Structure 1
Amino acid sequence: MDTRELQRLYADLTTPHVADAITRLGLPVRHAPAGVRPLWTGSHIVGPARPARHFGSVDVFLEAVEHARPGDVLVVDNGGRDDEACVGDLVALEVQRAQLAGIVIWGLHRDSRELRDIRLPVFSQGALPVGPQRVDAQEPDALTRARCGHATVTGEDVVLGDDDGVLFFPADRASDIAGTATAIRDTERAQATRMRLGETLREQTRFTDYLAVRDKEGITFRRHLRALGGAVEE
């Protein structure tokens, strides 16, 4: 699937919609740590992952950009370090000029004011003024595989990020995931509309009936919701 099609499919999908879809499809839910946040609210990125593991020098990022395609998302693995910032304004400008969609950092950034002026979507664990004081040996797979918390990310993955965080999922399932997420989104929106018109969530989900059946048969609320077509949780 090309980048434009990804952007079209996911333009109006949030990470919660997509996370629920991934769960419903029985796929592993891979996400960045909760501390990886957008620099400003309203950020939304989607695109193929472009991994880059940092070893103390920006050349790995330049090399990643050299091989990237417009619309890719640079996924920076700095091991979640809190003693150095690994991405600043010059890297962000280079990424922007190459028409990448944004940057996700398992680590820290600096040059916060400049990054906000550049307005390239950047997700990071936080800011620190101190840059790297080291240059380690670059590993052979530094440009093909990155870690972001417990998640391993490769070029076969899609990155989706917004105010709730960042998800990673297989590119070859992107269409299925988007279709399921769209159905969940539409169901939730319909439920919210009904609530605004006066019908409570308990009424919509037949919660009294559920309590009676739960006590007799021991079914879960998720199973009950799926039988009704509800979308409160997965």
Structure 2
Amino acid sequence: MLKDFADLSTPLIADACVRTGVPLRVAPPGIGAVVTGGRVAGPVLPVRHYGSVDVFLEAYGRAEPGDVLVIDNGGRTDEACVGDLAVLEAASAEITGLVVWGLHRDTPELAEIGLPVFSYGAYPAGPVRLDEREPEALSSARFGPHRVTGEDFVFGDADGVLFVGAAVVEEVLETALRIGATEREQARRIRTGETLRHQTAFEDYLVLREADPSYTFRRHLRRTGGAIEE
């Protein structure tokens, strides 16, 4: 999946979701890679954190090569729920990355390990709580307003993180590739002097909108083959 994601980006996947009618499930703003340039893509391995690393170790025992550990720590900003040992163990389980709704610590060590980790940022203190575990601890996770399970895929890069259902991920990726190719061609033409206004027949759009106020630019782009707004 990471190979399929190599020529794509989360903005392209988000646009493809809109184009195909797939609900957008984007992680809250602020979730980013610990190491600049980090990218992650793969099936979701969900886990909920309750203050102890044991739930991660249990999840690793269920992992398939290529899975991405998606950690629900409730978006907490008063503790770091993963550090170097948890990430090293993830690598040994052939997990390809971690996406944390919360904070991490041991930043230099994580950079040295090299496994992509996405979180809200660094915080030195680990958990001092131990909450009661829920039955769904290893079957689903919340990430912001979204619920994710093993039936989802996760994608992350410099623009953030989003989730796509396994049943539609192939269609979304194919659509994202087409949108990306269109946008690259549009960018090439702008660089050679052909403005975006000319490419999209923007003057025609203004005339058509004047005649029909319900005529949107998105509708116009679809008619002209553009790919700016999705």
TM-score (normalizing by structure 1): 0.96
How far did residue 178 of structure 1 move? 0.9
Give 1:206's aligned amino acid: A
**2: CA distance, partners of 1:40 / 1:198:** 36
Superposed CA RMSD: 0.8
Return the match for 1:211 from 206, 211, 214. 206
Return the match for 1:159 from 154, 161, 166. 154
Aligned: 1:48 with 2:43: yes
Aligned: 1:16 with 2:11: yes
Give 2:225's aligned amino acid: G
Partner of 2:102: 107
Aligned: 1:233 with 2:211: no
How far did residue 99 of structure 1 move? 1.2
Aligned: 1:139 with 2:134: yes
Unaligned runs of at least 5 residues, structure 2: none
* 1:72-131: CA deviation from partner (whole Å, max 9, x where unpaired): 000000000011100000000001111111000000001011111111100000111011
How far did residue 45 of structure 1 move? 1.0
Give 2:176's aligned amino acid: A
**1: CA distance, partners of 2:184 / 2:220:** 19
* 1:170-207: CA deviation from partner (whole Å, max 9, x where unpaired): 11211111110000000000000001111011110111
TM-score (normalizing by structure 2): 0.98
**1: CA distance, partners of 2:186 / 2:150:** 37
Return the match for 1:170 from 165, 172, 178. 165
Aligned: 1:80 with 2:75: yes
Quote the sequence identity (%): 58
**1: CA distance, partners of 2:173 / 2:125:** 40
Partner of 2:192: 197
Partner of 1:3: none
* 1:10-51: CA deviation from partner (whole Å, max 9, x where unpaired): 221100110000111111100111111111221111100000
Q: SS where residue 123 of structure 1 aligns?
A: strand
Corresponding residue pairs, total: 229
Q: SS where residue 98 of structure 2 aligns?
A: strand
Give runs of ≥4 in structure 1 deviating > 6 Å. Answer: none
**1: CA distance, partners of 2:174 / 2:22:** 14
Q: SS where residue 190 of structure 2 aligns?
A: helix
Q: SS where residue 152 of structure 1 aligns?
A: strand
How far did residue 8 of structure 1 move? 3.5
**1: CA distance, partners of 2:59 / 2:45:** 7
